[in-house]
Chains A and B, each alone.
Chain A
């Protein structure tokens, strides 16, 4: 276990370094820069700004400076949002996205697994068909369509739910539905197929032959085996969801991290691009390690090496 963790940490460092390097050179290869704007800035002012942020130095030197600072935990100042460091921005916006995203993942996990199980048990019956239609819809409908639809029905026509911000629990309902819809649909499908697979296993026949009730067969013997593919999916999905969705945050006016990913690229806010990308990479790696450990807890056959 310790050997496994050490190995994973070493691998993680290499992965993050690769992500950082690739991002750094790719974003610099794109035309434009942070200090271009519609109002003409004098060449002297631009030069002064570039000198202040070290952008006048050769690219390779900038790269080593950045990596050196990052290793000390300094991810620099945002080039566009004056007076704020990248760490400040992430520290301020991530909790907002994480809260909405976390609730969404929880909702998706519970509803998705439940409906997936129900569909598997009622295979070929009406309930199975309903779940199958809902999950196809969930996978096929893009989030901006769903958001608009929700806004129109519940916000504009019925006036049941507030349409922007996150000030009360009611504000969370629409963004959570919008964020959870796709993962719910996906988990439903995963759960249904893996449950069907498990229900056909010999050990389920053994469980029945022991005289266990349907409930005990399902919850004790089937669920723990069937949940594994869902766990695999939920780990990385959680990382993506808690870092926010650009579309959902824009539509429901949520001050989350999702907008920063896109905003940083549009504004060539180099330090913020680097910061958000590395942050997401770290989250995904951490989630994958957690998935592996949860896997080991659920299924003792898995050997972490």
Chain B
């Protein structure tokens, strides 16, 4: 699939903090990535990463308050898709401790939840919290567009 001659390389979304809206955001960002000609498997990775980042923002950053918004900014620069997910910062999203692995979870040493950030970090090239505006949590991750032969641009 060849790239269109000209496409918009930026997009913004605003969601209420209600579980389920991350699916709408995921589908919108996946459609955006298809326009940018990312390969199908990278789009699947992107969908999971975006969903998990939104869930963290909805559940933790905005404490499931549907009146608070989650902002998503996507831009394509230098063959990288950069995504920022920003909440209103009711509580911090970044974990204080390293997440438990599955062995420890099954051993009952902690919550069964809390694997979202680990998944994002494994699915994306870069991922982490960056300084946000107005006290909100800003989580940024990037996906480098890969050639069909598996090599990055």
* Chains A and B are bound partners: no
